[in-house]
Amino acid sequence: MSIFINETTKVLVQGITGKEGRYWTEHMIGCGTNVVAGVTPGKEGQTVEGLDVYHSVRRAVAQEKVDASMLFVPPRFTKDAVFEALDGGIKKIVTIADGIPLHDAVQIRKAALLEGAQVIGGNTSGVISPGKAMMGFFPYWIERVYKPGRIGVMTRSGSLTNEVTAMVVKAGFGVSSLIGIGGDPVPGTRFAEMLPQYEQDSETDAVVIIGELGGSMEEECARMIRDGLFTKPLVAFLGGRTAPEGKRMGHAGAIVSGGKGSVKDKIKAIESVGGKVAQRPRFVGDHLKELLGK
């Protein structure tokens, strides 16, 4: 079993005829992803990588069975594209757009919750189950970093994800499913909303979260452990531990308010429920070995 996607998941690509859409569709297929069709308004009749392109999601799902949609759509058009996918009955959506207007992001999350769907992103590299499928834009050399294994990964970061995951693999582990939650203030899906799926996944032995200062997603994970809703070992690496207190940070999600959201608070919350927090990415693997008895 995999979290969110696997090799049987039928994926639609919205924005497939654009430069990014074409390039990453080819790469997703190369990673084993079962891409079945694409959508670009006004481009119906074209093909990309041998896939039919449709004018709308509704026309695509009328012809193809679709389980998930990958969006290569600019930020200002993301809300409409997500709503179109939801209207087409698609329950799993990934959007990589960075800079989705805040009001749009709030509406996207609310609509997804009402429809019982999951939107991953924006401001994310996507999701990947190594050796099975990928939705997003993980680089061509991912085979060297993202080895199949039994460690789940959830991340708010882009660049740190590759570094931390490389340390997981270097320690002798591999990745079951990686979910790039994204770094925006209002992500479509939060860490704690993915944890139950990792809890139920027989192919995941432990979870690594790559967090940062700001927000409360890491503390929410700690509460789930405290309440017995997540029982597997958890290791975290948190960016921003050296950020000066009281200084406004530039990252969209790095907002500390009301005495909450600091790295210090997050470390305290996670360690209080038995989780481990690595001081450096290279220590993540050591903590996994300690918790898993390997």
Give Rg (Cα) of the chain.
Answer: 19
Quickly list DSSP for the chain.
Answer: --SS--TT-EEEEETTTSHHHHHHHHHHHHTT-EEEEEE-TT-TT-EETTEEEESSHHHHHHHS--SEEEE---HHHHHHHHHHHHHTT--EEEE--S---HHHHHHHHHHHHHHT-EEEESSS-EEEETTTEEEE---TTHHHH--EEEEEEEES-SHHHHHHHHHHHHTT--EEEEEE--SSSS-SS-HHHHHHHHHH-TT-SEEEEEEESSSSHHHHHHHHHHTTS--S-EEEEEETTTPPTTPPPSSTT---BTTB--HHHHHHHHHHTT-EEESSGGGHHHHHHHHHT-
Token pair, residue 132, equals: 């099975």
Token pair, residue 220, equals: 């929410």
Token pair, residue 144, equals: 């060297």
Cite the active site residues.
Answer: 251
Token pair, residue 104, equals: 């749009």
The values of phi and psi at residue 244, to 5°, are -65, 135
Considering all CA atoms of the chain, what is the largest pairwise distance in Å, rounded to the nearest integer?
A: 57
Token pair, residue 40, equals: 């670009």
